[in-house]
Structure 1
């Protein structure tokens, strides 16, 4: 800006005041001359200072972010086994509903499959004139030969009887024959059993060579098989003593 322009610029701010100019070096300083206000020249308009564009502010540099430091893995202490990560428990599924079945009624006891003793099969030989019954358990061939059995005939002769006056009964089962069946078919007064398990009412109530009185006043004498007694003198004596008490 020139000296005159600067002077005109400051005159706008200092109206009614006399401005002076500092003389250059070497020039005499003249006394200020008062100029009447009316004679003072009109100030020269000073052109407005140009508006300069605001310089662009450079963006601050973005600091670079350092990469995260790698954390070294934590190793288990020496001498201890590594601890396995906890295993999550499997999901527990709800149990299916249980259908309760009402217990069935108490089963009935098994029915007896064996036939009643009244149905035990047997075969007979002879008549029943004196009411003497002889029970045995033999095969069919031996039973047919029994009337000619020497030892049996001698036993009957000792008490004054013969085979023809007796009834020979062969029990054809491992079960005993029923006394009630014998009484309905035969008039049994004295019964001799040569063998085991021959008569139902005498199975658990008698001893060998001990005669007993059964229901209905029928006498029963249990003994061993005929062939066994025939070979044993001691059994022969036991049989003879029991027959004397029963028949004599």
Structure 2
């Protein structure tokens, strides 16, 4: 044993009697006096290795208060390894649940197109006969319908084209909507020549006609004009109506 090693152990076991075993074939060494041991300068101890984390079992033993009874046995390496594995298992994050496969949701079926709304039949009243298929369309109060049949202006207008009121039918449309030709014919009216005194009276002529301009719409000749009470007091409109009647009936 060299002097440096001997000095290290002397410093480590200061206050403890040291006994040096005589090495074979060496001279006996007498134990150095204790005072001399304390005077030897010990070399600096080597740097301590990094301290590993204290396992829970060792930490539990270190936390025990002084004077507590010593454990029956020291922890073995297997106990320390098992404690370290348990600590790692507790610190490891819990495994996340596997992502469930997303089932594609079937696209909702497109709603079927709603059927076109059917308009209710337009109500109307009739007055007179219809042997020649001449129809006079008006929109007046029901109590005024009978007065139109005796209207002097209408009777004179029909006579000017060779017609009489008794062979014409007056149709009073009791709705803001126009009446259809099919609805007139469903009531037994021929409706081959129609004169409309007012606006929005016949469905096929609401957007394709001009006042006092006779037109043919399929098998129907139609002449739009102003209301009867407006024409009979307006000489300009009377002249326009007369010229249109000549083109429609006498042309």
Larger CA deviation: 219-228 vs 152-161: 152-161
Root mean square deviation of aligned Cα: 3.6
Match of 2:217 among 206, 214, 217: 214
| SS of structure 2 residue aligned to 1:241 | helix
Higher helix share: 2
1:104 maps onto 2:108 in alignment: yes
Q: 1:99, 1:197 → 2: CA distance?
A: 58
Match of 2:128 among 121, 126, 129: 126
What are the equivalent positions in structure 2 for 1:50-61 lying under 5 Å apart? 57=34
What are the equivalent positions in structure 2 for 1:179-218 lying under 5 Å apart? 179-184=181-186, 185-216=188-219, 218=220
Q: 1:148, 1:60 → 2: CA distance?
A: 153
The normalised TM-score by structure 1 is: 0.55
Give, in angstroms, the shift of residue 238 of structure 1: 0.8
Structure 1 196/96 Cα, relative in aligned 2: closer, same or farther at 3 Å? farther
What are the equivalent positions in structure 2 for 1:22-171 lying under 5 Å apart? 57=34, 101-115=105-119, 119-171=121-173
- Rg larger in structure: 1
The normalised TM-score by structure 2 is: 0.54
Q: 1:219, 1:177 → 2: CA distance?
A: 15
Give, in angstroms, the shift of residue 164 of structure 1: 2.0
Q: Which runs of 5+ in 2 are unaligned?
A: 1-30, 40-96
Q: 1:179, 1:220 → 2: CA distance?
A: 11
Q: 1:60, 1:155 → 2: CA distance?
A: 153
Residue equivalent to 1:87: none
Q: Which runs of 5+ in 1 are unaligned?
A: 1-53, 62-93
